[in-house]
Structure 1
Amino acid sequence: MKFAYRFSNLLGAVYRQGNLNFSRDGNVVISPVGNRISVFDLKNNTSETLPFSTTKNITCVGLSPDGSLAIVVDEDGAAVLVSLITRAILHHFHFHKPVSSIRFSPDGRKFIVTKENVALMYHAPGKKREFNAFVLDKSYYGPYDETTCIDWTDDSKCFVVGSKDMSTWVFGAERWANLIYYSLGGHKDIVVGCFFEKDSLDLYTVSQDGTLCVWESDTELDGLILKKSQDKPKDKVEGEEGEVIRGKVETAKEREKKKNVRYKMMSKHFFNKEGDFNNLTAAAYHKPNHILVTGFASGIFHLHELPEFNLIHSLSISDQRIASVAINSSGDWIGFGCSRMGQLLVWEWQSESYVFKQQGHFNNMASLAYSPDGQYIVTGGDDSKVKVWNTNTGLCFVTFTEHTSSVTNVTFTSSGFVIVSASLDGTVRAFDLHRYRNFRTFTSPRPAQFSSLAVDASGELVSAGAQDSFEIFLWSMQTGRLLEVLAGHEGPVSCLCFSPVQSVLASCSWDRTVRLWDMLDSWQTKETLPLTSDGLAVTYRPDGQELAVATLNGEISFWNPHTATQNGSVAGRHDLQTGRKETDKITAKQSAKGKSFTSLCYSADGESVLAGGQAKFVCIYNIKEQMLIKKFEISCNLSFDAMEEFLDRRKMTEFGSLALVDEGAGDGDGVSISLPGVRRGDMSSRHFKPEIRVSSLRFSPTGRSWAATTTEGLLVYSLDGSLVFDPYDLDLDVTPASIRKQLRLQEWASAIVLAFRLNEKALKQEVLEKVPHEQISVVCGSLPDIYVEKLLGFIATCLEKSGHLQFYMTWAQNLLMLHGQKLKNRSGAILPTLQALQKSIQRHFDDLSKLCDFNMYNIRYAVALSKQRGLKRAAEEETEDQEEEDEELSEEMSEASLEDAEMML
C-alpha cells in the first residue's frame, strides 16, 4: 500500500495539562499531550506517542500498579481503558461529569474516581471476569465541594480524599467496624494533596495557601476490625470477664480494640510565601524516603523531609505555574509539568541535575523543514523560537532563541548543517548545527516583515519575501551582504521556492501571478504565470520539471516552468471539509467556500502532491490523474474550534448560541466572545479556543513519512509503523514453506526473489541473514534488475535498526557497485531509497564517531597514566640507585677517615 500512512509520533508538544505518571520501574514518564498520551523513555532518551486519542483534552490518567493498564479521562468525563503493552483500547466508559482525579489501589483490585463531591470505588478491570470492565462497588459522600486529590494506604484498606471545602475525608475501603469515615479540618484553603505515611494511618495534608498539617492516628492498620453481620445476638450474658456474645467471651482488650479510629493534629508548618500569587499548586510524597515535593505558581519547588519538615532543596525551574508533580518508584527522579510553557522536566535531586528537559512551542507552529538525510526536522513558531527535532528519538536537541518575533518560515541548506529562518522581526538568520550558534543575520535596508523564505540548491543564495513592501530580497550566504532587491509584485509575496536543478526562483504573490526570476541573468523576470486567484503557495517537483501553485479559490494548478503552460489543475475546495466555529453565524458548507490550501509539498517520487490548509484534513492528490487519492483527518479533538460540521443544539438558547452570549456582569469578567478577526486564539484572559488548521507540510526525503505542523503540534505520519500485507507478483507457489525450501537447497537468489514477492518483513530479513558472507557478491550479480531497488530499500530500513552493520554495508556496497549504471539511469525514482540508505549510514556514523572519540580520550588517559606511572617508577628506581651510591660513598669516606686516623696515630 503506497499511501498507507499511519500516525507515528507527535513532536513539538510534551505536556499540556493533567497529571504526570512514572512507570513501575521509574524509567518512563507518561505525559498527557492534548487528547493523546506521550511516553518518554528516560534511559534510552526516546519518545513515543500512543496511537489512540480521546474526543477532548485529557485531564487525568490513572496507572495500574503493574504498569500494564491505564485509565485515561478527558474534560467531559469520557474514559478509555488502554493496554500499555499492546497500545490498544480495551473499553470505553463515560462518567458523565468532569473527573478531578483517579487512582488505583496498591494491590490493583480497586480504583477510586472523584467527580464533583463524590468518590466512586470501582472493581479494577481484568482482576475478575465481568461483562462490563468498570463495575461500581461503592459511592462515598462527605465533602460539600469538589474533590481534588486521593491517596491509598499501603495495604489498600483505606483511602483519603481532599476537597475544595478545605476538609479531608478518610474512608474505609472495606466495611470496618471502627472506621466508616473521618473528617479532618485545620486548613483555610483548598486541599491540594493528602498522603498516608508508609504502613500507617498517619496523614499529611497540604493546602493551596502553603500549609502542611501532620495528623497522627491512634490506631494502626492492623487495628481495623471488619464489620460483622447486622444480626442481633440471641444470648447476651454479662460477667466479670466481659460480655458473652453468642457464647464467646469478649475481653476488655477486645472492647478497647473496637474503639473508633481518632486523629490528632501533631504539628502545622508553613511554606515560605512570596506574595499572594505564589499559591501551592501541586504536591507529591514518596513514602519510603519520607520526601514531600511541592510546586508553586511562581515556578519554585521545595523538597522537605517529613515529619520534621526539614528543607532539603529549593529551586526555581521557570516563572510559570507548576501544574503537576510526580516522583518515581526509587524516589531519585521528580517529574514536573508546566502547562502554560508546555514544559516537562525530570530532576534528579541528589545530584541536582536534569535527567530530562523538554519544551514544545507554547504558541502555534508556523513552519517545518526536513534535513536532506531525513534525520532532523526544524520547526519555527509564533513564540519566536526555532527548534530542531531528532526523527529517531522524537526529542528536541537544540533551541535557537535569537528571534524577537514570530518565525514565519524555516529551511535547511543542501549540506544539512545550516538552518535558515525568516521572522516578522525583520531579520533572516542562519544557524550552524555544528556549533549551535547564529553565524549570519540578514537584514533589509528598510525594516520589513519577512513572511516567505527560500535557499537555492548550492546554499549560496538566500531569498526572503516581504509582507508590506511586496519586494524580494537576495543575500549571499558567504558574505552576508544584500545582493539585490527584486521588485515587480503588486501584492504581498506569500511563498518562494528555488528550482532544485536550475538557478531559478519562483515567487507567488497575492497579485494573482507567479514570477520566475533568473538568478544567472541579472536577476530578471524570466516568465510570469497568470493565476485565476490570489497565490498562496508554490513548490517545485523534485526533478524541477513541474510547478504546483495553490490559490485562494481552493485550486491547485500544475505548470511547466520551461514553457510557462498549465498542465492541469485540481479543484480541492470540497475536499477540505471545514467545520463550523462556535461563533459562526453561517453553516460549515458556506464557510468552506472561503477556505483554501495554504501549504503544498511534492512526494519524493514527484507523482503526487500533499496539500493542507484551514481545516482538519490533509489531502494527497495524484498529479497525472488529477484526483484525490487519500484524505487524512489530523485530529478528532473537540477541544479545538471548527471541528464539528453542525452546531450543537444543546448550546442553543432563546438568545442564540451560548458562545455568542456575553456572560460578563458588566465589569469585564467572564467574557467568552473571541475578538473579531482572531484566528489563532485570543491569548488574553478573554477567550482561548484555538482553531484547527494545518500551517505547513513536508514529505521526508526518503518518502517513507510526512510531517505537518498543526494546532495540535507536529504530527508525523509514517509507512514503517503500519502492519500492512502488501505482496508483489503473488502466486500460489509463493509461500513461506517454498522460500525455506530454496534456502535449504542454497538457492540464495531465488529465495530472495520469492521473499520479496511475498513481501513479509521478518521473512525477508531471515532470508538475507542466511546468505553466507562470501556469497553476497555472487547473489547481488544474479539478481533481476527489478529486485535490486527493492533489496536496496529493504537494506536501508534494516541498517537503521540492526546491529549487523558490516553485513548490511557489504550488501549495499555490492548492489551499488554491480548495478550502479542501471540505477543511475533511474536516478529520479531511486533517489528516496538512496537518501534512506544515507540516513541509516549517517546515524551509525554519528553513534560510532562519538564512541570512537570517547574511546580515544580513554586511551589517551590510559597512556598518560601509564607514562606517569613509568616516570614515577623510574624516579623511584633513580632515588634507590642514588641512595645506594650515597651509602657506598659514605662507607668509603668512613673507611678513608678510619685509615687517616690510624696513620695519624
Structure 2
Amino acid sequence: MGLPKVSNHISLTLMFFLHSCSHFTVVCFCCSNKCETLPLATRLNIVCVGLSPDGSLAILVDEEGAALLVSLIGKCVIHQFYFHKPVHSVSFSPDGKKFVVTKDNLAYLYHAPGKKREFNAFVLDKTYYGPYDETTCIDWTDDSKCFAVGSKDMSTWVFGAERWANLIYYSLGGHKDVIVACFFEENSLDLYTISQDAALCVWQCDTELDGLKPMPPKKAAKEKEAAEDDEELLEEPKGEEIHGKADPSEEETRNKVKYSRVAKYFFNKEGDFNNLTAAAYHKKTHLLVTGFASGVFHLHELPDFNLIHSLSISDQRIASISINCTGDWIAFGCSGLGQLLVWEWQSESYVLKQQGHFNSMVSLAYSPDGQYIVTGGEDGKVKVWNTSSSFCFVTFTEHNSGVTAVTFTSTGYVVLSASLDGTVRAFDLHRYRNFRTFTSPRPSQFSCLAVDSSGEIVAAGSQDSFEIFIWSMQSGRLLDVLAGHEGPISSLSFNPMKCVLASASWDKTVKLWDMLDSWRTKETFIINSDVLVVAFRPDGKELAVAALNGQITFWDHDNAVQTGSIEGRHDLQMGRKELDKITAKQAAKGKSFTTLCYSADGQSILAGGLSKFVCIYNVKEQILMKKFEISCNHSLDAMEEYLDRRKMTEFGSMALIDEGGGGDEGVAIPLPGVKRGDMSYRHFKPEIRVTCVRFCPTGRSWAATTTEGLLLYSLDSGLIFDPFELDIDVTPSNIRKTLSQKEYTMAIVMAFKLNEKKLIQEVIEAVPSSEVDVVCSSLPDLYVEKLLEFLASAFETSCHLEFYLIWAHKLLMLHGQKLKTRSVKLLPVIQFLQKSIQRHFEDVSKLCEWNIYNIKYALAISQQRGMKRAAEETPGDEEELDSDSDYLMQEAHKDNLSS
C-alpha cells in the first residue's frame, strides 16, 4: 500500500500508473479516489510501461526484458513475452493497432493484440536500424503513420510505420547531449526534440501528413522478399528490416520529405548540474512540461516558447512527467522520494500528493477501529494512512532520527512514536500537531514503545542504557525509570486487561512489571536465547515470546508456566544472498522471527522476520496454518533458494568476482547485519525482510511493513462460497418462497446457511422496518453474531444507512446481555461494526454541518433582502435595518465557525 519507488515512465489517462519493485499499482482517483494494487508481479523491477489508447491493455517490461501483457479490465496476465535484452521504452500507436519497443539501438514495430483470440499476441512486423547508441524515447504522429525515436547519440530519427515512397530515414542533429524526449505537433510531421542539457529544437517539415505517398506494391513486395531471405540466416526473427542513413546524398533526398530546424531555445538553468530529466507535451493545448534534477519544473507554451510557470516541488530529481487528456492535470514522479504529485496548473493547487517513506518502514500500528494505519520509518517520518483509500493523509516530520516504534492510544485520536533521537512524541489527529514530547533525564536511544489500555501511561525501552522509562500522558512528567535488565530492551507490551507491562531483553529474560504496585517486578521468565519480541493475547491471559533461536513460546503469566512452543526456524525459509558462500538451508539455521501479533480472536498468531515469508500459526494446535510470500522480486537480495548454476564459472560465482579490480580476493563480503547493501557500490540490492506485522482489530485483515512497502491482506477482496449448516432444502428459490410468505426470521436463517452475501442482503432489505424488532427478538443466538458481521460489512457499501442502523440498534439492545458472555470472541465483530459506523458518521456529519451553514446563510440573505424592501417603503429606518442584516450575517458566520 505504501507508495513504492517511482520508475521512469508514468502513463496518465483516467488513471495514474505507478510501478514499483515487483508490483504494479494503479492509482485511480478520478473515479473512486482509491489506490489499488493489481494481483500480478514480475520477476524483477519494472522499468517501463506501455498503455493502450483505450486503457484496456498494458505492457510491463522488467529489467531483463521479460514482458507481461496485462488486461486492466480483468486484472490478469494475458500473455508473456521475452525480449532477450533490456527494453528502454514501449509506446502504443494512437489507433491501438501497433506498438514500438526500443532496445539497444534498434526499434521494433509489433502488431498489437486485437480483440480476437490469437496464438501469438506479439507479432513482429519491422525492425528499424539507425541510431548508433541506445534509444531513449518514442513518440507517434496522430494518424499512426510515423513515429520518432530519440537516442543517446544526440540524434532523433523519424520512421514510418508503413513504407512511404517520399520518406527516407535520416537523423536530425542539433543537440549536444542525450535526447530526453521528442514530440510531434498535432496532426503534423513538425517535431520538437529536447536534450538533457536543457535545449529545445523546433523542426519544421515541408510535407503534411496527407502528403505521404505509399510505396508501389511491386517494389514493396521485392523489398519484403529480400528481408525474409535475410531473416532465414538470422537466429531470431526480426521482421522486415529497415535501415536509415545518417548522411543521405542529394539524389536520395530529392523530392523527399525534408526537415529544417527553425528555432532553438534554452531553458533557464540553475547551476551546471541541473540536467533536464523528464518532459511531456500536450498537443491540443500546446503545453510543454519539463522537469529537472533539482526538482524544478517549467511550463511553456509552444511554438513561441512562452514561460507560463516555473515552480519547485522537491529537492530531488523529477523522474517522470505525464499530462491527462484534457491538459488540466500534470503528474510528476520522483524516484528518489517515492513521490507522486498531481498538479492542476491553472489553479496552482495539488490534486493529489502522495509520498512513501524514503528509507525502509520499521513499524506499524492499527487504530482501534481499523480505519487508519500509522507507520514509522528510518527516515524519521511518521505517516498515517487510510485503509479504505490506501492514501497517506498526514505526515509528521518532528523526529530527527529513525523511528523505531509507533502505536495508537485506545481513543484512536493520538499517535505515539519512539525514535533513536531520544524522544517519544505524541501527535494529535484532530489538529495534526505534536502536542507532547517525552524525554529521558540523560540521552537514550528508544527501541520500543507501549501504551496502556487507558492511554495514560507511556512506556519506552532503551537500547543503550537497558532501562524502561515511564511517563504520564496527561502531564508529560517522567514517573519512574525501571531498571533490572542487563541487555538492550527489545520489546514492550501492556496487558490489555490489567495494568501489567511485559518487557523483553537481549539478556534472555522477560520481566512483568506491576504498574499499580510501585512498578515492581512481578515475575521474571528465563528464556534459552535472546528475546526479540513479546506480545499479549487480546484477552490478556497468554503471553507469546519469540527468541533468537527461532522458537515462539507461550506462557501463562499468572501461574508462570510455559504452555507451549513452536519451532519456527524451518518455516522462515531464508533465501540465499547473492554473496553467500553457504546454502539457504544452512543460512536459515541462524534466523528467527522478529515480529509477532495475535489475531483479534486470539486463536492464531502472525510471525515475520528476515525472510520473504510471513507465517500464521494456530496457537492451540501449535501448527503452521499458512505461509504468505510477500514478494517474488529477484531484484532484492536473499531471494534465491538454490545456487544458480548459470552464474557459476571456473573461478567461482560471478557475484563474488570483481570485474573492475584485478585483485585475487574479489568482492568484499559485507559485515553481518547489513540489510540495505553497501551504498558505496554502483549497484547494490536491499535485503528482503519483514519488519513488523499487525492484525486489524476487526479481524478482517492484517498488514506488514516490508522492503516492498506497506502490504495489506484482506478477507473481503474475493468471493468465497462458505456454507454454514447447509441442508438439502436450503436453496435460493426456497428462500425467496419463504420470504414471500413473510416468514422473515426463517428466511434470514436459511440465507445465512447458504451464506451468499447478495442473497442475505436481498432477504434483509426485504424485511419492513416495522418488523425489525420482532425479527431480532426471535432470531437464534447463533445467528446474531453472523448478522452483526454482515451489517458491519454492508455498511461499507450500502446507502441504506438508517435501515441498517435500526437493525444494529435492535440487535445490540435485545441481545446485549447474552453478547457480554462472549465478549472476547465478539470483539472483532463489534470493532468492525464500530469502524463502519464511525466512517459514515464522519462523512455525514461534515455534510450536515456544511448544509446547516448554507441554510443559515440563505436565510440571512433572504431576511436581508426583505429588510431592504421594507426599508424602501419606510426610508427612515435604513441604518437600523442595515445593522440588523449585518448582525444576521455575522451570526451565520459564527455558527459556521463553531460547527
Does the C-alpha gap of structure 1 residues 805 and 874 become closer, same or farther in structure 2, counting only changes over 3 Å? same
Does the C-alpha gap of structure 1 residues 178 and 605 become closer, same or farther in structure 2, counting only changes over 3 Å? same
Deviation at 1:686, TM superposition (A): 4.8
Partner of 1:523: 519
Which SS does the other structure have where 1:469 is aligned? coil
Deviation at 1:735, TM superposition (A): 1.7
Deviations 1:677-732 (A, max 9, x none): 42133445555311000000100000000000000001000000022211111222
Q: Distance in 2 between matches of 1:578 and 1:771?
A: 54
Please, which of 6, 17, 37 is the counterpart of residue 30 of structure 1? Answer: 17
Partner of 2:243: none
Please, which of 126, 136, 144 is the counterpart of residue 138 of structure 1? Answer: 126
Which SS does the other structure have where 2:299 is aligned? strand
Deviation at 1:427, TM superposition (A): 0.4
> Which residues of 2 match residues 359-438 of structure 1 at below 5 A?
359-438=355-434
- With 545-554 and 117-126 compared, the bigger mean Cα shift is at 117-126
Partner of 2:146: 158
Deviation at 1:772, TM superposition (A): 1.5
1:674–1:686 CA contact under 8 A, matched in 2:
no
Asked if residue 614 in structure 1 is aligned to residue 602 in structure 2, the reply is no
Partner of 1:8: none
Deviation at 1:41, TM superposition (A): 2.4
Partner of 2:282: 286
Does the C-alpha gap of structure 1 residues 866 and 581 become closer, same or farther in structure 2, counting only changes over 3 Å? same
Q: Distance in 1 between matches of 2:645 and 2:639?
A: 15
Letter in 2 for 1:738: N
Q: How many residues align?
A: 847
TM-score by length of 2: 0.92
Is there any run of 5+ residues in structure 2 with no aligned partner, and where? Answer: 222-250, 880-899
Letter in 1 for 2:462: A
Partner of 1:895: none
Asked if residue 209 in structure 1 is aligned to residue 197 in structure 2, the reply is yes
Q: Distance in 1 between matches of 2:667 and 2:588?
A: 28
Which SS does the other structure have where 1:130 is aligned? coil
Deviation at 1:881, TM superposition (A): 9.1
Partner of 2:885: none
Asked if residue 866 in structure 1 is aligned to residue 862 in structure 2, the reply is yes
TM-score by length of 1: 0.91
Which SS does the other structure have where 1:764 is aligned? helix
Partner of 2:812: 816
1:664–1:671 CA contact under 8 A, matched in 2:
no
Partner of 2:11: 21
Letter in 2 for 1:855: N
- With 720-729 and 168-177 compared, the bigger mean Cα shift is at 720-729
Which SS does the other structure have where 1:553 is aligned? coil
Q: Distance in 2 between matches of 1:741 and 1:432?
A: 54
Does the C-alpha gap of structure 1 residues 18 and 764 become closer, same or farther in structure 2, counting only changes over 3 Å? farther
Letter in 1 for 2:21: G
2:343–2:351 CA contact under 8 A, matched in 1:
yes
Q: Distance in 1 between matches of 2:750 and 2:334?
A: 54
Asked if residue 193 in structure 1 is aligned to residue 181 in structure 2, the reply is yes
Which SS does the other structure have where 2:43 is aligned? coil
Deviation at 1:506, TM superposition (A): 0.3
Partner of 2:228: none
Q: Distance in 2 between matches of 1:198 and 1:232?
A: 29
Asked if residue 448 in structure 1 is aligned to residue 444 in structure 2, the reply is yes
Percent identical residues: 71
Asked if residue 724 in structure 1 is aligned to residue 720 in structure 2, the reply is yes
Letter in 2 for 1:29: F
Q: Distance in 1 between matches of 2:772 and 2:878?
A: 66
> Which residues of 2 match residues 550-589 of structure 1 at below 5 A?
550-589=546-585
Which SS does the other structure have where 1:351 is aligned? coil
Q: Distance in 2 between matches of 1:875 and 1:656?
A: 100
Which SS does the other structure have where 1:411 is aligned? strand
Q: Distance in 2 between matches of 1:550 and 1:231?
A: 76
Does the C-alpha gap of structure 1 residues 696 and 98 become closer, same or farther in structure 2, counting only changes over 3 Å? same
Which SS does the other structure have where 2:627 is aligned? strand
Deviations 1:508-567 (A, max 9, x none): 111111000001111110000111111000000000000000000000000001001000
Partner of 2:831: 835
Deviations 1:132-178 (A, max 9, x none): 11111111111111111001000000011001111101001011111
Deviation at 1:183, TM superposition (A): 1.6
Deviation at 1:790, TM superposition (A): 0.4
Does the C-alpha gap of structure 1 residues 122 and 232 become closer, same or farther in structure 2, counting only changes over 3 Å? closer
Q: Distance in 1 between matches of 2:214 and 2:71?
A: 34
Q: Distance in 1 between matches of 2:163 and 2:376?
A: 58
Q: Distance in 2 between matches of 1:881 and 1:834?
A: 61
Asked if residue 707 in structure 1 is aligned to residue 703 in structure 2, the reply is yes
Give the RMSD, CA atoms, in angstroms: 2.0
Letter in 2 for 1:167: S
Asked if residue 650 in structure 1 is aligned to residue 637 in structure 2, the reply is no
- With 210-219 and 34-43 compared, the bigger mean Cα shift is at 34-43
Letter in 1 for 2:549: N
Deviation at 1:676, TM superposition (A): 5.8
Deviations 1:768-789 (A, max 9, x none): 1111121111111221111110
> Which residues of 2 match residues 236-247 of structure 1 at below 5 A?
none
Q: Distance in 1 between matches of 2:197 and 2:835?
A: 54
Deviation at 1:651, TM superposition (A): 2.6
1:503–1:518 CA contact under 8 A, matched in 2:
yes
2:472–2:479 CA contact under 8 A, matched in 1:
yes
Which SS does the other structure have where 1:99 is aligned? coil
1:610–1:697 CA contact under 8 A, matched in 2:
yes
Please, which of 243, 248, 273 is the counterpart of residue 269 of structure 2? Answer: 273
Please, which of 37, 41, 45 is the counterpart of residue 28 of structure 2? Answer: 41
Partner of 1:62: 50
1:513–1:535 CA contact under 8 A, matched in 2:
yes
Q: Distance in 2 between matches of 1:828 and 1:552?
A: 31
Asked if residue 91 in structure 1 is aligned to residue 87 in structure 2, the reply is no
Deviations 1:35-87 (A, max 9, x none): 21222223343211111111111111111111111111111111111111111
Letter in 2 for 1:817: M
Q: Distance in 2 between matches of 1:108 and 1:128?
A: 14
- Structure of higher CA gyration radius: 1
> Which residues of 2 match residues 887-902 of structure 1 at below 5 A?
none
Deviations 1:358-388 (A, max 9, x none): 1000100000000000000000000000000
Q: Distance in 2 between matches of 1:165 and 1:608?
A: 60
Deviation at 1:865, TM superposition (A): 2.3
Letter in 2 for 1:414: S
Q: Distance in 1 between matches of 2:873 and 2:624?
A: 86
- With 53-62 and 725-734 compared, the bigger mean Cα shift is at 725-734
Partner of 2:732: 736
Does the C-alpha gap of structure 1 residues 568 and 129 become closer, same or farther in structure 2, counting only changes over 3 Å? closer
Q: Distance in 1 between matches of 2:213 and 2:662?
A: 58
> Which residues of 2 match residues 626-645 of structure 1 at below 5 A?
626-645=622-641
Please, which of 776, 790, 795 is the counterpart of residue 772 of structure 2? Answer: 776
Which SS does the other structure have where 1:86 is aligned? coil
Asked if residue 75 in structure 1 is aligned to residue 63 in structure 2, the reply is yes
Letter in 2 for 1:703: G
Deviations 1:85-109 (A, max 9, x none): 1111111111111111101100110
Deviation at 1:672, TM superposition (A): 8.8
Deviations 1:485-505 (A, max 9, x none): 000001111000000000100
Deviation at 1:653, TM superposition (A): 3.4
Deviation at 1:394, TM superposition (A): 0.5
> Which residues of 2 match residues 94-173 of structure 1 at below 5 A?
94-127=82-115, 129-173=117-161
Q: Distance in 2 between matches of 1:672 and 1:555?
A: 32
Letter in 2 for 1:182: Y
